[in-house]
Amino acid sequence: MKDTLLVVDDMEINRDILENIFSDSYKIIKAENGIEAVAMLKKHKDNICALLLDIFMPEMDGFGVLEFMHEANLNKIIPTVLITGDTSNEVKQKGYSMGVSDVIEKPFDSQIVKTRINNIVELYLHKNGLEDLVLEQTRKIMLQAEKIRKTNRNLWDTLGAIVEFRNHESGMHIYRVREFTRVLLSTVAANYSEYGLTDELIDAMAFASVMHDVGKISISDTILLKPGRLTDEEFEIMKTHTTKGSEIIDAVCNTDDELYFKYGREIARSHHERYDGRGYPDGLKGDDIPIAAQIVSIADVYDALVSRRVYKPPFTPSEAFRMICNGECGQFNPKIVDCLRLARPKFEELAERLK
């Protein structure tokens, strides 16, 4: 509770007069020079509602106190009123430039002083109260946003795990793809600033990557689990998992969490596009393919190569790396392939650790 008035004046009679004026409204603490004032500000800053400050004092003058308050950011929470016998514009202008709320000239009328100080105190208390309210509301909004983000992450992990269960996989595929994606995103961010990959975007894209195959929920088991090569007709049906995935995300994801929604939809729809325009479903080419989808595409292919599938045994990490770099798995963005080369040790460590 801010209920204390600090009175600073080298003349005892002035301190006593001001104490007498305000003692019925505030607790009064007094200092006879700037050094004492600074010590009291440090000790009582949480309780001081206003500072009544003389200018010309021994040891440290009023302007020295104002400099301390500015450095300590106390001028933002404690209003200061200069009470001075110097009526020059120079003194007033300097005081206002240093953040004082008012300048009252000596000799002063006690009723006028009391009214002006009370008004300033009420104004600051109201202002600080509004700032506290804004901070509290901001905190609540951030907590709510984090709650939404956590809910969406859990939902997406669950949907991704359902897809893996239908694939007769352990569920580790989506988590490996997420970690491969995060490593590759970080490497691209460090080497190609033109993609604007901040830490926030990397985190959002990595978590959104778990939704890359969510559209496979709509594919029948006879096609999804077929051990041999798909017929042309079956492959056309399998390709629809990209558009179905984006539709599922549109239907079930909370749009208040814009980043995850945006990247999840882009990744689900476009992770089978190819840099030369020969991918699906939209035949996008080059950087018309969203960067998140480009990176998840490589992460997904790498993990598919090093993992056992119903239709093939696993390749070694070195074989998988060679196949991607040589274009045996389709054409990828050369910049991202360069980053894959840089990230190769981390990819191989993750592949071993997350078997």
Tokens representing residue 271 in the block: 């992770």
94 is catalytic: no
H/E/C letters for each residue in 87-114? Answer: CCHHHHHHHHHCCCCEEEECCCCHHHHH
Residues with Cβ within 8 Å of residue 154, at least 6 apart in sequence: none
Q: How far is CA 331 from the centre of its chain?
A: 35
Q: What angle do CA 62, 68, 71 make, to 5 degrees?
A: 145
Task: Provide DSSP, 217-258.
Answer: GGS-HHHHT-SSPPPHHHHHHHHTHHHHHHHHHHHHS-TTSH
Helices (H), the chain: 12-22, 34-44, 62-71, 89-97, 110-166, 172-191, 199-208, 221-224, 232-239, 241-252, 258-270, 291-306, 317-325, 334-353
Active-site residue, selected from the candidate residues 2, 30, 216, 244: 216
DSSP bridge pairs for 52: 7, 81
* 315 secondary structure, DSSP code: P
Counting every residue written for the chain, the total comes to 355
Catalytic residues, which ones? 216
